[in-house]
Structure 1
C-alpha cells in the first residue's frame, strides 16, 4: 500500500492556485461556483493525499471553494457528527461544494437518514434541497420504508414554485421515483406533464433532458424489460 503523502495547508493552497484556469473560473462563475481548478487535477491531488481527516478540517476552514472540494475528497465521512455536517452544509453556498458534500460525505456516512429527515422540511431552500438529494439516493438505493406516494404529494404541491436549487432536486426525485418504481411511474409522469418543470431546459445533443417525463421515458427505454411495469 502506498504511503500517504504529507503536505501543509499553505502548500496545498499554493498548489491549487497553480492549477487555477481563469477561463474555467469564468465558466464556473456563471453557475455560482467560484473556482477555476480542473477537477481531474484536483482529484489527482486528493488521490496522492489519501484520507487525512484533520487536514480536511483545516482545508475546509480556509473557506476557499477549491480547498473545500479537496477537503471533501480527503475527509473521513464517518468521523463527522450531525451538528458538524449541518453547520458545513449551511455555510457552504457554492453549488459544487453542496453537491459533493451531500454525495461524498453525508450520503455514505452514518447520519444520512437523520439529516435527510431534518433537512427536508427546512425553511432554507438550499438545506431542503440537500434533503431531497438524499431522498433521491434512498429512492434509488434503499427505498424500503419510504412513502413514495407522500413524496409525490409533496413534489406535486411544492415543486412548481420552489426556488431553483430546491426545484431541481425535487424534480430529480420525481424522475427517480418514475424510473425505479413502476407502480408509481404513471403518476410521476403525470405530475411532470402537468407542472412542466424544466421542460425547456437547454440540453446538449446526446444528453438526457431533465424534464421528468422525458427523463423517465429515456431511462426506461435504455433499461428495456428490466424497468417495464
Structure 2
C-alpha cells in the first residue's frame, strides 16, 4: 500500500498492520516497552510513514483514538503542535503506558505555546508516566528549544529536587536525564545543575543519591568539561 498525504487513518493503520514484526515486538519488550498493542514498527519505518502522510491534525487525533501503540506513534509524528490543545495533551498523557511514547510525545508538547504550563502540572500528577512526561519535556527542551533562555530551564532545578525521591523507575531515570541535560547545555547551566547533583548525592534518600551521583559523574567527566570550555 502506498501512503500519501490524503491517506485516511484507517489506511495508515492497515499499512502499519501489514508491517507487523514479531521479532521486533519481542525486542521492544526487553527494553521495557509496553507491547500489548504493539506491531513492532521500527523507528525508520515510522519516520518514513510520517514523511509520506505529512501533518494532518484531525487524522492524528483519529490515529490516537485507535489505542494501537504504532498508530499513536504515527499520531505524535503527524500532529500539528499549533493546533494541539492543552486538553488534547492531557487526554493523551492520561493514556501513556510506555516510556517511549512519553518521550516522543514530550518533544511534540514542547513545540506548543503552553508547554511551560504543562510541566509543573504533569510533575504534580501522581501517575508514573504523566510525571515522567514533565521531565522528558524539560530534558528535550534543553536540547531542541535552542532559543529558550537558560533561566527558563534553570527554574526547573527545584522541581528536580522535589521529585528526586520518587523511586519509580521511569520517573527517577527521567529526573536524572533532565538534570544531566541541563548541566550539559552550556557553561551557564553547568554550575547550578552540578550544585544540585552534588546536593542530591550527599542526601539521605537512596533514589536522590543515585540521581545525584550519576549526574555528578557525567557532569564532571573530562568529555563534558572539555566541551563546555
Q: TM-score, normalised by structure 2?
A: 0.79
Which residue of the partner structure matches residue 168 of structure 2?
163
* Conserved 8 A contact 2:128-2:168: yes
> What are the superposed Cα offsets for residues 205-227 of structure 1, whole Å, 9 maximum, x if unpaired?
xxxxx932232234x62562x51
Q: Return the offset for 1:107.
A: 0.7
Q: Return the offset for 1:81.
A: 1.1
Which residue of the partner structure matches residue 176 of structure 1?
181
> What are the superposed Cα offsets for residues 48-96 of structure 1, whole Å, 9 maximum, x if unpaired?
1111112111111101000010111111111111111111111121222
Q: Structure 1 pair 192/139, CA: closer, same or farther in 2 (3 Å)?
A: farther
Q: How many residues align?
A: 212
Which residue of the partner structure matches residue 207 of structure 1?
none
Q: Return the offset for 1:185.
A: 4.8
Which residue of the partner structure matches residue 112 of structure 1?
115
Which residue of the partner structure matches residue 129 of structure 1?
132
Which residue of the partner structure matches residue 18 of structure 1?
18
2:110 maps to 1:102: no
1:28-39 alignment runs, 5 A limit: 28-30=28-30, 31-34=32-35, 35=38, 36-39=40-43
Gaps of 5+ in 1: 200-209
2:228 maps to 1:227: yes
Which residue of the partner structure matches residue 202 of structure 1?
none
Q: Return the offset for 1:106.
A: 0.5
Q: TM-score, normalised by structure 1?
A: 0.79
* Conserved 8 A contact 1:107-1:134: yes
1:70-109 alignment runs, 5 A limit: 70-103=74-107, 105-109=108-112
Q: Structure 1 pair 186/145, CA: closer, same or farther in 2 (3 Å)?
A: closer
Q: What do you get for the CA RMSD once the two structures are aligned?
A: 2.7
Q: Structure 1 pair 23/188, CA: closer, same or farther in 2 (3 Å)?
A: same
* Conserved 8 A contact 1:117-1:131: yes
